[in-house]
Amino acid sequence: MLPTIENIKNLFWISESPGGQELEYFPHLYLEAKIDFSDVRTGFRESYSVNRAMEIPSYQLEPFWDDDAVRDIDPANLGSDVPEKVRFKSLPGYVDKQFISWMETKFFQYLLRTFTVRVYRNFNLNEYSFSGESRNDFIIRCLDLIRGHMHREFDTLHEVFKRKLERIQQKYLGIENSEELEEFKTDLQDRENFTRIKERISALFLRTEFSIQRVDRPSFTANQTHELEERLQAIHFEAQEVVSKILDSYEEKVKSIDEYILHPTVKNIHFVRSCFLWMPGSP
């Protein structure tokens, strides 16, 4: 005989009797709640349906509200029609409306204590992950955000190096009537070297990866090179050092990710209903 308590419905675990044998169903208390997060600090907004069940023991005992005693239930596996070839274990006599109300209060306290949502935070960017955003997806979004900041800095520095190259170009390749520098003005190799270094420096400031192959600072002697080549290689090395330093700085900012745990408040939790849930066998 199924119990009848005012406003408390009976639900049944959907299962088939093996070989047509009769099953014994045991009583559980099924509790539903909805948790609505709207966190001002992180901007996190999401709703969660919580469906839990606890076995109702034969003797009145203080239940343990932990993961072993409280089972997560998929509502899709439940039905309201009484299954065939099932016998129901008697509901303990202490179970009444007052007991169920007490259990609902305990369930509410259990959710306040244990229900959490993990949000990822990048401290340097002051960014938090969105609802359902994984750690990897959050890192990718942080990379996109930080590339914008990084390239604005790159653009500013690129202009600085353009002006440095313009001064070198004017001094070594564009000054008229200079007997001392005439040989550089007409030297095709010098012009090719200048163009090559200029393109390499421009490519440095267009980088999006957070790694760059470092090169050793060039060293020169009077017998190895002339002044223009020395200046070009030195400015190329300087640009590499500047870009590397910026990349290292922003890479560190991207890696600065920690976890921010959200707990529901009393206002977040909305109790939906409690039911008797009958399930085959003891959990």
Same domain, 163 and 234: yes
Task: Write down the pLDDT at residue 283.
Answer: 42
87 and 147 assigned to the same domain? no
Residues 185 and 247 in one domain: yes
pLDDT at 218 (0 to 100): 52
Task: Tell me which amino acid residue 251 is.
Answer: E
Same-domain check for residues 152 and 38: no
Residues 106 and 181 in one domain: no
Residues 21, 91, single domain; the answer is yes
Residues 6+ away with beta carbon under 8 Å from 27: 3, 55, 56, 88, 89, 91, 92, 95, 276, 277, 278
Residue 128 belongs to a domain: no
Token pair 């939906």: residue: 272
Instruction: Please check whether residue 127 lies inside any domain of the structure.
Output: no
Helix (H) or strand (E) holding 46: strand 45-55
19 found inside a domain: yes
| Banded pLDDT at 17 (limits 50, 70, 90) | low
Tokens 């959990």 label which residue? 283
Per-residue burial over 138-171, b if 16 or more Cβ lie within 10 Å, else e, is bbebbeeebbeebbeebeeebeebeeebeebbee
Q: What is the mean pLDDT of residues 203-225?
A: 61
With a cut of 70, say whether residue 226 has pLDDT above it: yes
Residue 125 covered by a domain = no
CA nearest 105: which of 187, 46, 33? 33
Q: Which residue has the higher pLDDT, 209 or 114?
A: 114
Residue 208 — pLDDT band, cuts 50, 70, 90? Answer: low
Q: Are residues 91 and 25 in the same domain?
A: yes
Q: What are phi and psi of 204, to 5 degrees?
A: -60, -40
- Poorest-pLDDT segment among 50-59, 141-150, 170-179: 170-179
Give a yes or no: residue 4 inside a domain. no
The reported pLDDT for the residue numbered 101 is: 92
pLDDT tens for residues 246-276? 888 888 888 889 998 999 999 999 999 999 9
Q: What is the total count of domains within the chain?
A: 2
Q: Quickly state the pLDDT bin for 47 (edges 50, 70, 90).
A: very high
Average pLDDT, the chain: 83
Instruction: Report the share of the chain in percent with pLDDT over 90.
Output: 41
Do 197 and 163 share a structural domain?
A: yes
Give Dmax over CA atoms of the chain in angstroms: 115
Determine the distance from the C-alpha atom of residue 222 to the mean position of all C-alpha atoms in its chain, rounded to a whole number. 56
Residue 118 has pLDDT above 80, yes or no: yes
The pLDDT, as a whole number, for residue 220 is 47
| Any domain includes 222 | yes
Q: Where are the beta strands (DSSP E) in 43-126?
A: 45-55, 71-72, 78-79, 86-88, 117-122
| Same domain membership, residue 253 and residue 267 | no
> Which range has the worst mean pLDDT, 63-72, 106-115, 159-168?
63-72
- Residue 83 tokens read as 């299954």
Residue 218 lies inside a defined structural domain of this protein: yes
- Residue 167: give the domain boundaries: 134-257
Q: In the prediction, which pLDDT does 147 show?
A: 84
pLDDT of residue 213: 56
Q: Are 11 and 78 in contact (CB under 8 A)?
A: yes
Rounded-to-integer distance, Cα 125 and Cα 141, Å: 11
**Mean pLDDT value of segment 77-106:** 89
The answer to the question of residue 2 being in a domain is no
Same domain for 271 and 247:
no
Residue range 208-230: average pLDDT?
A: 60
Q: Which residue has the higher pLDDT, 183 or 262?
A: 262
Among 51-65, 101-115, 126-140, 245-259, whose mean pLDDT is lowest? Answer: 51-65
Poorest-pLDDT segment among 18-27, 209-218, 222-231: 209-218
Residues 67 and 138 in one domain: no
> SS3 of 94, please?
coil
Residue 222 pLDDT grade (very low, low, confident, very high; cuts 50, 70, 90): very low
Structure confidence by residue, pLDDT tens digits, 121-132? 998 888 999 888
At residue 29, the pLDDT reads 94
Q: What is the pLDDT of residue 23?
A: 84
In this predicted structure, what is the pLDDT of residue 177?
Answer: 37
Same domain, 179 and 274: no
What's the whole-number mean pLDDT along residues 141-163? Answer: 90
Please state, in angstroms and rounded to a whole number, the distance separating the CA atoms of residues 76 and 49: 13
Residue with tokens 């305990």: 106
H/E element, 117: strand 117-122
